[in-house]
Amino acid sequence: MTHLRVTGGRVLRPGGRVERADIAVDRHEGTIRAVGSPDEVDEAVGGDVDESVGGAAAETLDAAGGIVIPGLVNAHTHVAMTLLRGYADDKPLDPWLREDIWPAEAELTPADVEAGAELGALEMIRSGTTAFADMYFAMDRVADVVDRAGLRARLGHGVVTVGKDEADARADVEESLAVARELDGAADGRIRTAFMPHSLTTVEEEYLREGVAEAREAGVPIHLHANETTDEVDPIVDERGERPIAYAAEVDALGPDDFFAHGVHVDDSEIDRLGDAGTAVVHCPASNMKLASGMAPVRRLREAGVTVALGTDGAASNNDLDVFDEMRDAAMLGKLAADDASAVPAAAAVEMATRAGADALGLPGGRIEAGAAADLAVVDLDAPHLTPVHDPVSHLAYAARGSDVRHTVCDGEVLMRDREVLTLDAEAVQERAAAAASDLVDRVGSA
């Protein structure tokens, strides 16, 4: 069967309109063939008949009582950090990384990264996320998981050079470039890559310049953490007499395909600069609140024309990978930051989690229209906390949760049907990850 029909639901269309429609998906192409009335969709699937279900035309996903939305995009995470969920909480960024996270990560094996990535993939599929950006290490293992899980991703090896000797620092840069070159196009093109220096303070200038120059030559974008905390901005200002975004431009890391995580402490000049450059910002509201990093000026960024996507960041600073939470947090925190309840309305939060996410990552998806990638999720609205339905878009941002997702589809393939994940063995994944996490903590304790 080449086709998949999503029937009986309401559909979130580009621009935020919600209308009753069926959807025809070309599974072979991984794209949406048609969005419209049942007749129009019948016509689009033509004579594609599934004998196994009594001759019904094509495979069908029932969306009755639900809303079909573009698959959510988690535009910044460290997916294998699911193993460190709840391992170290209630500390600011710098001591949290140095005292807890980095020592634990020093003990992580590639097999652990694979187990954690699988758990993260499972969690994302179960909460309607179809695409993500990942900065971590052992990325070949993460790529295998993305391939098996059926997701879409932009992957990169995170580089840290501070505290390393020259050989180690250079090797880390080379590893990131090698990953970016070699994994690009993997998983039938669902995997794209980026050069990923961890941040403007944890990678020294000469390595940043060299790495970015090579990334430009290879044609891969740049992803890094920028302007996350004042502790990270101040040293750049003190030492260089310029703001981090100006510094990023100086090392040629501020291009139209690049995307920076956080952008919390950005001043007006930096906001304008991001807008002019076309560099996207990935807002991570839960992580920013939990680490008390600050409030990103999301409304001002959007008004300046910056593409603002949403990310969960790692599960150790969130502590889940549910982009529905991120939509709500972004809307809430955006209002608080602007001191205005009309800032970052529901539709903006939904747009950030869908179209802006896909655009920030330079991946297909993020819109439900003919010709677009068939990356979508069906959210069940038949639940007490979603009743009544005055405005489904309001529910998506403020009341729905990942567990309300009924079906998840990526690249035309059904990854979850009626809450059963088809591409991963949920029970085995959970057991493996829990065992890997407990062994890891034992090793860290005796190191």
The contact set with ligand SIB (CB under 6 A) reads 78, 93, 97, 101, 105, 135-137, 158-160, 172, 198, 225, 228, 287, 313-314, 317
**Which residue's beta carbon is nearest to the bound ligand SIB?**
158
Q: Is 313 part of any known ligand binding site?
A: yes
First to last CA, the chain: 54
* Annotated binding residue 385: no
Q: Nearest approach, Cβ of 399 to ligand SIB (angstroms)?
A: 27
The sign one gets for the Cα dihedral 105, 143, 430, 4 is positive
Q: How far is the CB of 243 from ligand SIB (least distance, A)?
A: 18
Residue 149 binds: one of Zn ion, ligand SIB, none (C-beta under 5 to 8 A by kind): none
Q: How many angstroms from the chain centroid is the CA of residue 350?
A: 13
User: Which of Zn ion, ligand SIB, none binds 5 (CB below 5-8 Å, type-dependent)?
Assistant: none
* Phi, psi (degrees; rounded to nearest 5) at 346: -50, -45
Per-position DSSP letters for 276-302, written without gaps between them:
HHT-EEEE-HHHHHHTT-----HHHHH
Cβ proximity to ligand SIB, 228 vs 270, nearer residue? 228
Could you tell which of ligand SIB, Zn ion, none binds residue 421, using a CB distance below 5 to 8 A set by kind? none
Nearest distance from residue 109's CB to ligand SIB, in Å? 14
* Minimal distance, residue 354 CB to ligand SIB, in Å: 23
Shortest Å distance, C-beta 92 to ligand SIB = 11
Compare residues 162 and 422 and give the one whose CB is closer to ligand SIB.
162
CA triple 290-291-296, angle to 5 deg: 85
> Minimum distance from CB of 170 to ligand SIB (Å)?
13
DSSP letter string, 37-102: -HHHHHHHHTT-EEGGGTTEESEEEE-TTEEEEEPEEEEEE-GGGGGGTTTS-S--HHHIIIIIIH
Q: Which of 245, 295, 247, 296 is nearest to 275 (CA)?
A: 245
d(CA 318, CA 326): 9
Closest-by-Cβ residue to Zn ion is 313
Determine whether the annotation assigns residue 223 to a binding site.
no
175 is an annotated ligand-binding site residue: no
Binders in 300-329 for Zn ion, by CB under 5 A: 313
Residue 136 touches which member of Zn ion, ligand SIB, none, C-beta under 5-8 Å by kind: ligand SIB
369 annotated as ligand-binding: no
* CA-CA-CA-CA torsion sign (402, 406, 412, 415): positive
> Residue 93's binding partner, choosing from Zn ion, ligand SIB, none, with beta-carbon cut-off 5 to 8 A by kind?
ligand SIB
In angstroms, how far is CA 371 from the centroid of its own chain? 22
- Establish whether 231 is an annotated binding residue: no
> Within 13 A of 127's CA, how many CA atoms are on the CB side?
24
Our CB check for ligand SIB shows the closer of 25 and 113 to be 113
Segment 382 to 401, residues that bind Zn ion, using CB under 5 A: none
Residue in 146, 90, 156, 98 with CA at minimum distance from that of residue 122: 146
59 interacts with Zn ion by CB under 5 A: no
Q: Is 134 in the site for Zn ion (CB under 5 A)?
A: no
Q: Is 283 annotated as a binding residue?
A: no
Q: Of these partners, Zn ion, ligand SIB, none, which one is at the site of residue 158 (CB under 5 to 8 Å by kind)?
A: ligand SIB
Site map (CB under 5 A) of Zn ion, residues 147-186, x = contact = ----------------------------------------
Using CA atoms, how far apart are residues 395 and 407, in angstroms rounded to an integer? Answer: 17
Amino acid at 13: R
State the minimum distance, in angstroms, from the CB of residue 79 to Zn ion. Answer: 11
> Minimum distance from CB of 93 to ligand SIB (Å)?
6
Please list the residues that pair with 77 across neighbouring strands. Answer: 134
Q: Which own/partner pairs from 418-425 qualify as long-range (CB within 8 Å, at least 24 positions apart)?
A: 419/126, 421/122, 421/125, 421/126, 423/125, 423/148, 423/149, 423/150, 424/118, 424/121, 424/122, 424/125, 424/148, 424/149
Q: Which residues bind Zn ion (CB under 5 A)?
A: 313
Which residue positions form the known binding site?
A: 76, 78, 105, 198, 225, 228, 313
Which residue positions form the known binding site for substrate?
A: 105, 198, 228, 313
